[in-house]
Amino acid sequence: MDPMPGRCFLCGASLPQEAMQAHLMECRPNQGGQTPLFLLFVQDAYFPKTYWLFLEVAQQTPLSALDDFLRRLWVDCCGHYSQFVIDGETYGRRPKASIVDLVLDEYTHLLPMDKPLQALLQVGQQVDYAYDDAWFTELRIHVLAAYDGPQPEGDVRLLARNYKPPRTCRQCDREATWLFTNAWPLEPYCSEHAKQHPAWGQPDAFLPYINSPRVGVCSYRGPQAQELLFEVYPPPEDE
């Protein structure tokens, strides 16, 4: 997968991933705001230069709020298990836990996500995140900085994210809008060729091509909230 530049949502600038942190430190409003914040950089574990986010998170918010945000924006397909590994401890969450799950979780010392971030994170730390315990989506979270600023709405503020990686239909020159999931690697199709495919109409044989590390996995169809979709291709280089 190609490295993807991204957009700063504070000013609209397009920048390569490597330049974004320095840009955000200049671009973020430093007047006003007394809320202690962490600046987090989140990357897909396998395509770290393709799928990435910069977030500001209130330090007092519980770990579960960060989990909620990552689920809503990027990974949640059907309410699977998720976990953070921080300093060798595993903090997990099972929205649909059975009695057996709960007993096993206690046996394996799975910790709840109720602690505030400030009790768990420090600048320079790396945290591993996984969503789903069968068809994993794995992320790495880097704690880049700590500073005071305006309170983010819902405790998490999205500062920047990657543009959508352009993909072409395997049968023509049009943009891919679907992935055929009964093949590996997943096969990209435009709408027209997807609908001509013999498997079109079979459950989850085709999933929408979404700008997310969860793309094409399980039954992932993107965020439920339309405002969290970011299906924008990178602008031309000379712009």
At its nearest, how many Å lie between Zn ion and the CB of residue 8?
A: 3
158 binds Zn ion (CB under 5 A): no
Pair of tokens at residue 167: 């993909």
Q: Do 82 and 130 form a contact (C-beta atoms < 8 A)?
A: yes
Strands 6-8 and 187-189: unpaired
Interface residues for Zn ion in 170-189 (CB under 5 A)? 171-172, 174
- Chain-centre distance of CA 14, in angstroms? 19
10 binds Zn ion (CB under 5 A): yes
Q: Do 141 and 126 form a contact (C-beta atoms < 8 A)?
A: yes
193 binds Zn ion (CB under 5 A): yes
218 binds Zn ion (CB under 5 A): yes
Q: Of 120 and 206, which has the nearer Cβ to Zn ion?
A: 206
CA 4 to CA 188: how far, in whole Å? Answer: 18
Q: Of 43 and 177, which has the nearer Cβ to Zn ion?
A: 177
At its nearest, how many Å lie between Zn ion and the CB of residue 216?
A: 12
Residue from 14, 21, 27, 125 in contact with Zn ion (CB under 5 A): 27
CA 170 to CA 187: how far, in whole Å? Answer: 7
CA dihedral 13, 154, 65, 161 (to 10 degrees): -10
Count of chain residues binding Zn ion (CB under 5 A): 14
At its nearest, how many Å lie between Zn ion and the CB of residue 193?
A: 3
Q: Applying CB under 5 A, which part among 29-37, 103-111, 123-131, 214-222 lies near Zn ion?
A: 214-222
169 binds Zn ion (CB under 5 A): yes
Rg of the chain on CA atoms, in Å? 19
Largest CA distance in the chain: 58
Q: Of 8 and 113, which has the nearer Cβ to Zn ion?
A: 8
214 binds Zn ion (CB under 5 A): no
Q: H-type helices in the chain, by residue range? A: 17-27, 63-70, 99-107, 191-196
Q: Applying CB under 5 A, which part among 12-20, 33-41, 137-145, 198-206 lies near Zn ion?
A: 12-20
At its nearest, how many Å lie between Zn ion and the CB of residue 227?
A: 19
Peptide bond into 185 cis (omega under 30): yes
28 binds Zn ion (CB under 5 A): no
The residues of the shown chain that bind Zn ion, judged by CB under 5 A, are: 8, 10-11, 13, 27, 77-78, 169, 171-172, 174, 190, 193, 218
